[in-house]
Amino acid sequence: MILHCVFLRLKTAMTIDDKQALFAAIVALKQVIPGIVEIKYGPNVSPEGLHGGFVDGFAVTFDSPEARDAYLIHPEHVAVGERIVSSTDGGLAGILVFDLNI
């Protein structure tokens, strides 16, 4: 299994409703892309203060590396990905992706 972690530096102009709509679009991917086991999202709650400005994020659990790879090129993911990039401070610089084998 793969844990696909995505940390975001969202634009400060985003409202709570904007964030909720963005994360709802991410969660909806589970219904259309095979191999997604679970999607969790929310703000960073670490008390360490080492977030580097990445204070929101989500994690997608995939049943296999192949499922993750298919997700990356899936048209629905590409569309949501473009929405994510346009919502971050600095575009791609506002996104950090970290995948783990679990």
End-to-end CA distance of the chain: 5
- Is residue 8 within 8 A of residue 97, CB to CB? The reply is no
Q: How far apart are CA 4 and CA 27, in angstroms?
A: 13
State mean pLDDT over 68-80: 98
pLDDT in the model for residue 1:
98
Q: How far apart are CA 75 and CA 71, in angstroms?
A: 9
Tokens standing for residue 54:
């990445």
pLDDT in the model for residue 5:
98
pLDDT in the model for residue 81:
98
Mind listing the pLDDT tens digit for each residue in 2-45? 999 999 999 999 999 999 999 999 999 999 999 999 999 999 99
pLDDT in the model for residue 36:
98
Please name which of 82, 85, 75 lies closest in space to residue 32, comparing C-alpha atoms.
75
pLDDT in the model for residue 27:
98
